[in-house]
Amino acid sequence: MPARLERTNDFVVLFANVNGSGSASANRLFGRAMIRMGVPVGSRNIFPSNIQGLPTWYEVRVSEAGHLGRRGGVDLMVAMNPQTWDNDVKSIDSGGYLFYDSSKPLPPSKFRDDINVVGMPLTEICNKQYSDPRQRQLFKNIMYVGALSQLLDIEPEVIEKLIGELYQGKEKLLAPNVEAFHIGRDYARKHLNGAIGLKLRRCDRVGNKILIEGNAAAALGAVYAGATVAAWYPITPSSSMAEAFQRYCQRYRVDQDGTHRFAIIQAEDELAAIGIVIGAAWNGVRAFTATAGPGISLMQEFIGLAHFAEIPAVIFDVQRGGPSTGMPTRTQQSDILSCAYASHGDTRHVLLFPAEPGECFEFAAKAFDLADRLQTPIFVMSDLDIGMNEWLVEPLAWDDKRKYDRGKVMTFEDLEAGKDFGRYLDVDGDGIPYRTLPGTHPTKGSFFTRGTSRDRYARYSEEGPVYVDNMERLLKKFDTAKSLLPAPVRRNAREATRFGAIYYGSTTTAMDEAIGMLEVNGIHLDTLRVRAYPFVDEIIDFIRAHERIFLVEQNRDAQLKTLLLDTGRVDANKIVSVLHYDGTPVTAHFIVSGISRRMQEIMPVPLRRVAS
């Protein structure tokens, strides 16, 4: 008899399915039911670039402690895809469970001795119950959810209620789904009782948290920040942001006469999308585009123009694996450099790194203030893991007293009062000039917008010193940006330590769990979560204050490290990279093993022994 994992409110379930088989909504139901029981759950969809037929996985991380990143490993595999069977079985932790469709007998070689096998003849039951092939497929999903709910002690009333919410207005589907759910439960009670040692127990760790995708949260941030023009070109994993913006605008920005306080253009390509954003922002609205790496590549020339012509623009980059024909449905943090330095000429851009949907909302709203204040493109560096997965996060909040910072815009009154207007004149010493909007004043304040080759008053000039003067001011402006950005988040280790770790974005949840695991192993790290570029002194000081810094990133080339070294204020030898870039979200186990291994290299004697 293999060992049995016995765990309550702390385990990982992985569903292996065939894309397009209707499994997604059933799996989602499974995760949601746990949340309704007060148990925090992190769910991730790992899906192919395909509509039907290729393998897809849905990972459910159950953690009463609230660790909602990926842990690594699988405690219960729900293996519903013969194509990936071998690898799926291999990935189960020893003592874990394999739940599968036992309608067709499989040779013993297809299993493992050290795992617990739970077979249920799903196809057989469905074929007996239903004659329509589509029904046979769809109800199979809800049936395994029924069986698992029985085996894991998920309260059936909770799932019934969720099914009711799911099929509200489609009552015809409601009864058969509830029926299939109970067929699954009944079978498990009769034939599989007690087969799985993973249990759910109602608790109250969810509170008033909400479930939301990063893209939807970012879209809401744009709505709340007063963005009115959006231009985009469909590209995974960013499309759902533009679509969510459309949906929310339709709800909250339509006048009684039916007219819209917004305009959304699905452009012919990313070049046009960013062009529309720039034209709109030049003309005084808040405008944005949502895209992914290939879109960023196409936008380069325009991004440079916006930088030099000093036009506010907000760009949401929902990062994915590169290149264009790469891994569009997989996650990475691999556009850091291409965004930081986007375009030709000497350009550097402000980047924001949200860690979860709550920050997607917050940073989206912030990005529009920053764009207007700094008159430059602002990048919100989300990724597929944050953007397209539903995360359990604190409720979104908005202060009704908050005013939009529209930056330095000269009005008719200002011009009329005789204020000196030089479009590229640094009046306040912060590198940020004043701008005017087209149509403001009949005789004052007009200017001709171009990249460079103009002086402080926007008059044409190709003189070297005039060019240099402008470039120096842009640097000053970039420095000003530092004082406006979200500060890094520091956490001190429980014990004084010479070691630190830096991370950012979607790595955060796995990192939080990894730090706890490392502590148990006697490795103590101060940590700093970077939330924006350009880097503030606090980040440089943190690196200087530690002997070694582990820098965890989800790309191959240590792109954030490159940016840090580019400041010229950081010792390259101090930084040890831990890099995850296979397209799946990084796990706590990966970080723990990466840091532990490198720690061994730095300090060959195990820490624990030293301590004892």
Partner 1 sequence: MTYIVKPKLHHPKLPHNKLGFTHRDYEGKVSTLCAGCGHDSISAALIQACFELDLPPHRIAKLSGIGCSSKTPDYFLGQSHGFNSVHGRMPSVMTGANLANRDLIYLGVSGDGDSASIGLGQFAHCLRRGVNMVYIVENNGVYGLTKGQFSATADKGSKSKRGASNQDSPIDLVGMAFLMGASFVARSFSGDKKQLVELIKAAIAHRGAAFIDCISPCVAFNNHPGSTKSFDYVREHNEAVNSLEFMEAKQEIKADYAPGTSALVRQHDGTFLNLKKLAADYDPTDRNGALAFLQRHQAAGEIVTGLLFVEPEPEDMVARLNVTKTPLNRLGEAELCPGSAILEKINAELR
Decide if 508 contacts 355 (C-beta within 8 A). Answer: yes
Residue 264 lies near partner 1 (rule: CB under 8 A): yes
Determine if 323 is a binding residue for partner 1 (CB under 8 A). no
Cα of 538 vs its chain's centroid, Å: 25
Q: Which stretch binds partner 1 (CB under 8 A): 48-56, 111-119, 216-224, 600-608?
A: 216-224
Q: Which of 54, 166, 192, 211 binds partner 1 (CB under 8 A)?
A: 211
If the CB atoms of residues 449 and 577 are measured against partner 1, the closer one turns out to be: 449
Residues from 179 through 208 that contact partner 1 (CB under 8 A)? 208
Whole-number minimum distance, CB 460 to partner 1, in Å? 5
**Residue 572 Cβ, how far from partner 1 at the closest point, in Å?**
37
Query: Which residue, 442 or 465, has its beta carbon nearer to partner 1?
Result: 442
Judge whether 207 and 222 are in contact, CB under 8 Å. Answer: no
Asked whether the beta carbons of 360 and 398 are under 8 A apart, the reply is no
Minimum CB distance to partner 1, residue 587 (Å): 26
The residues in 302-321 that bind partner 1, with binding defined as CB under 8 A, are 302, 305
- The answer to whether residue 223 forms part of the interface with partner 1 (CB under 8 A) is yes
Name the one residue in this structure whose structure tokens are 């452009």: 267
275/280 Cα distance (integer angstroms): 8
Which of 36, 35, 83 shows the shortest CA–CA distance to 61?
35
Closest CA to 566 of 351, 356, 377, 370: 351
Per rule CB under 8 A, is residue 108 in the interface with partner 1? no
Decide the pairing of beta strands 532-533 and 350-352: antiparallel
Nearest to partner 1 of 410, 558 (CB atom): 410
Q: Segment 393-422, which members bind partner 1 (CB under 8 A)?
A: 395-400, 402-404
447 lies in the binding site for partner 1 (CB under 8 A): yes
> Crossing angle for the helix pair 357-374 and 464-482, nearest 10 degrees?
140
Q: What is the maximal distance between C-alpha atoms in the chain?
A: 89
161 lies in the site for partner 1, by CB under 8 A = no
Shortest reach from residue 470's CB to partner 1, in Å = 16
Structure tokens at 21: 């088989």
262 lines the binding site for partner 1 (CB under 8 A): yes
Which residues have C-beta within 8 Å of that of residue 109, sequence separation ≥ 6?
Answer: none
233 or 504: CB nearest partner 1: 233
Please tell me the distance from the alpha carbon of residue 262 to that of residue 62, in angstroms, as a whole number: 40
Shorter beta-carbon distance to partner 1: residue 459 or 556: 459
Contact status: 344 vs partner 1 (CB under 8 A): no
439 near partner 1, judged by CB under 8 A? yes
Where on the phi/psi map is residue 530: left (φ > 0), alpha (ψ -120 to 50), or beta? beta
List the x/- string, 270-309, binding to partner 1 by CB under 8 A: -xxxxxxxxxxxxxxx-x-------------xx--x----
Considering only 117, 143, 231, 380, the residue that binds partner 1 (CB under 8 A) is 231
Structure tokens at 473: 């001011």
Closer residue to partner 1 (CB): 398 or 602: 398
Binder of partner 1 out of 331, 382, 436, 554 (CB under 8 A) = 436
Distance CA 102, CA 119 (A): 5
| Window of 217-225, 328-336, 566-574, 597-605 that interacts with partner 1 by CB under 8 A | 217-225
Q: Which CB sits closer to partner 1, 392 or 510?
A: 392
370 binds partner 1 (CB under 8 A): no
Nearest to 287 by CA among 316, 258, 259, 254: 316
The single-letter DSSP state of residue 573 is G
- Helix extents (H) in 3-155: 23-36, 85-90, 122-129, 133-152
